[in-house]
Amino acid sequence: MQRYRDLPERQYILFPYEVSGTTVNLVEFRRLAERYPQTAAYLTANRKRLESREKEKSKGSKWYGYIYLKNMVRQGTTKICIPRLVDHLYAAYDVDGRHYLDNVDVGGTAWQSMYQDQGFPYLLGILNSTLLRWYFPFVSAPFRGGWMSANRQFLSQLPIRLIDFAKPADKAMHDEMVRLVDQMLALHRQLAVSGTDREKSGLQLQIAALDRAIDSLVFRLYDISPDEVRSIPSSP
């Protein structure tokens, strides 16, 4: 995954479950066969392989289900995604919750309500800013080759600037961030399907300008002085 860009679709998965609130229930195989006969036929053809998983833990009526149901309720939701190892902090946005993550190479970030109420586009702009990219190495654990861990224990130490929506100036900056991030997401989608080098070059120039505008807004949000801004290295 890359900052601001749509998440790549590596493969499709079979998810024979129904999600209701905080519960996940395996769809009865008879109903599965009625609604999705080709899927049922595929599962049946591979039944022995499925039952043999984890020393035959899957034998029984749930032979076609998952062995470990981890975070299944949260997978199909709108979320911000961050790689487990990064050379600098960055994030992408699963706008419609279509992507299920392996939670090893890339994890979906869960937020407390006080942060989630700020809105994901606002949070995405903060996470992809030069300021937090500069700050992150101070709270993360280093690995070889300049890589850093972006697990929950380190992400939770990031200083997220909360907006007081009762203050007009705060709300104006929040709305400006959302507008800029929406433009950034749209430009990256255009870049992904652009044809000529000239088109790509023009879009990249617009993206660079938006990055500068977002950084300038973040510096204002965090009340960073011009002298302090000059001491922060530019984003890679």
pLDDT tens per residue across all 236 residues of the chain = 889 998 888 788 888 998 887 788 999 999 999 999 999 999 999 999 999 988 888 888 899 998 877 777 777 788 999 998 999 999 999 998 888 877 667 777 778 899 999 999 999 999 999 999 999 999 999 998 899 999 888 999 999 999 999 999 999 999 999 999 999 999 999 999 988 999 999 999 999 999 999 999 999 999 999 999 999 987 65
Task: Tell me the whole-structure pTM to 2 decimals.
Answer: 0.83
Half-sphere CA count of 147, side-chain side, radius 13 A: 10
| Domain parsing of the chain, residue ranges | 17-56, 80-230
Using alpha carbons only, what angle is made at residue 82 by residues 78 and 86, rounded to the nearest 5 degrees? 170
Supply the pLDDT for residue 104: 67
Report the alpha-carbon distance of residue 43 to residue 34 in Å, rounded. 14
Instruction: Decide: residue 37, CB within 10 A, 0-12 exposed, 13-18 middle, 19+ buried.
Output: exposed
Report the alpha-carbon distance of residue 230 to residue 225 in Å, rounded. 9
Supply the pLDDT for residue 109: 76
